[in-house]
Structure 1
């Protein structure tokens, strides 16, 4: 279960979530500053990294397909037209999905117009989340939330983004150390205002690249928009998010997963390593953390010559 998902349960308090963010930040700062993140990557090997990236791409495609199935006669033509537009005009493809999604939401949900009319801006300042901190919240945040997420974050937020970035933008490579340190910084600072634990995520990067992003300006624009919504429209967020319905989101997820998977088709020539890559990818579609641990074990077995393929 992810931290965001666990936070929706009644047993997890806002203080525990803030502690989880702080613990996550400290963990990744230590792993990055000490160079441990890069040493782990050198130790586990590329077959596992490629497998995790491929599995994430396939998982996004599967989830996108499931979302598109909620209104397939709307989503299928939208997907086809978007693919055709991506070849030449990625920005137009993005605008098409946004406009089509809003139109679909307004047409299929009669209550949307009334709900939108009731929305209004109102500044809400963040609060210090540790004022009522308890040892129970510390235990839940560190042991139950932050620590179990380390393998998942390593795969989805460090290994996969570095692999994807360095293939898409070889002239601007990044390292696992940079990703780990930046993950630590955003979580440490975010915990001070009660933010949930965050990471870079390969899926978000793949989605932005799919629709034309070629620099850090894209996440800066997205981040600025989210800050405005959080500070000025927090009471209306649920309504505003309904403007982007599941079928349109499915199209974006499918294309993001396709972009991520395409960059992961660099299989090794050795049959054993290909076996490790595909096995890791299959498990990564279900749970990245388990796939990471399973891949390490499987690669060890393959390199010892214990596999008969």
Structure 2
């Protein structure tokens, strides 16, 4: 992994760098597609959410995050909520999704405003925090390899192209991967060319969606979807993203409370126009950075594209996505996982630190919240010399 902003000493009179929109930012803008697209497709095709609402709110939130933070602090679908909703199928209503979003928004906004999260994060040592990153990285690598199995030949070519161009500043790897993915999709399924003729301009404005929430939906959304998401968000989208942002971009530091507040605001806004619960997942930053992003410009670029597609082509959205092979999305996810996992290399040389790291990572593959707690327990056991390794 190449080094990013390694000089932590700043001239107090020097203004921190702002957003850029060069080709590296354009390439990095698409670095989180491996997680973004599968969840959005699931929400639209299985839960039957209006593509306009999902894309419009996602676009607005990405632009807002890029303008506010000025680093690639991402906006991602909340994975526990998204996974449970998509797995639940017809039993999950749009009102439950929106209710879960409102609950999530209020929860993190209140927690951030009370200022408690900074204290919570100080309890965890570096091995615990790096263990979360390693565990999340391994999750991405495993899921990426599963997606690559859908067309192994295409995946191998995509992997080779990406490795070859990964540090090439003139030809961003993501651009080549996108072009290759589209070409491979059309070659594998020539009928898609005829189907793409059905893509048409269809301008619409988003509709107010809170009227779809019943009291039953609201409380079911909290119990079934919202509450199980909390530990995952704490570990990945509050503590891990804060550590990762401050490690990579010390000139734009953030705090856990600040992240929680913007996460709360996002989730209170999203349901108004039919959007889904979202978070600042650390995996998203790894994906954006791995493919070239260094500022919030990458988020603004992606947000602008989603906004235009949502407002003008929402009825053709799933058709547009059909040309991009899942195996190539798996390659994107795989490299995002590598970027996350490699951040654990600076944990130190102490054997006890490695135990804490690996225990945290191992349990995080199962559940990041449980991994965080397991790492803390192991950390305290070793610190108090209850047992030795």
Specify the TM-score bucket, using the shorter chain as the normaliser.
Answer: over 0.9
Q: Which residue of 2 aligns with 1:29?
A: 109
Q: Which residue of 2 aligns with 1:224?
A: 304
Shift of 1:269: 4.1
Q: Which residue of 2 aligns with 1:201?
A: 281
| Runs of 5+ unmatched residues, structure 2 | 1-78
* Aligned mates of 2:153, 2:219 — CA distance in 1: 48
1:246-278 deviations in whole A, cap 9, x for unaligned?
221121111111111112222244433321211
Q: Which residue of 2 aligns with 1:292?
A: 372
Shift of 1:21: 0.8
Shift of 1:233: 1.9
Q: Which residue of 2 aligns with 1:122?
A: 202
* Aligned mates of 1:221, 1:118 — CA distance in 2: 26
Deviating more after overlay: 221-230 vs 123-132: 123-132
2:159 pairs, out of 76, 79, 97, with 79
Provide closer, same or farther for how the CA distance between residues 81 and 206 of structure 1 changes in structure 2, counting only shifts above 3 A. same
* Aligned mates of 1:254, 1:90 — CA distance in 2: 23
Q: Is the 8 A contact 1:91 1:211 kept in 2?
A: no
Q: Is the 8 A contact 2:286 2:337 kept in 1?
A: yes
Q: Is the 8 A contact 2:85 2:97 kept in 1?
A: yes
Q: Which residue of 2 aligns with 1:175?
A: 255
TM normalised by structure 1 equals 0.93
Provide closer, same or farther for how the CA distance between residues 108 and 197 of structure 1 changes in structure 2, counting only shifts above 3 A. same
- Structure 1 runs, 4 residues or longer, greater than 3 Å off: none
Shift of 1:289: 2.1
| Runs of 5+ unmatched residues, structure 1 | none
Matched, 1:2 2:68: no
Shift of 1:300: 2.7
Q: Which residue of 2 aligns with 1:281?
A: 361
* Aligned mates of 1:36, 1:91 — CA distance in 2: 44
Matched, 1:144 2:224: yes
* Aligned mates of 2:308, 2:369 — CA distance in 1: 33
Shift of 1:91: 5.1
* Aligned mates of 2:270, 2:126 — CA distance in 1: 32
1:233 pairs, out of 313, 319, 335, with 313
1:216-245 deviations in whole A, cap 9, x for unaligned?
000111111112222222221111112221
Provide closer, same or farther for how the CA distance between residues 127 and 164 of structure 1 changes in structure 2, counting only shifts above 3 A. same
TM normalised by structure 2 equals 0.75
* Aligned mates of 1:283, 1:124 — CA distance in 2: 45
* Aligned mates of 2:295, 2:121 — CA distance in 1: 25
Matched, 1:264 2:344: yes
2:149 pairs, out of 69, 79, 89, with 69
Provide closer, same or farther for how the CA distance between residues 201 and 91 of structure 1 changes in structure 2, counting only shifts above 3 A. farther
Shift of 1:59: 1.5
Deviating more after overlay: 234-243 vs 20-29: 234-243
* Aligned mates of 2:269, 2:301 — CA distance in 1: 19
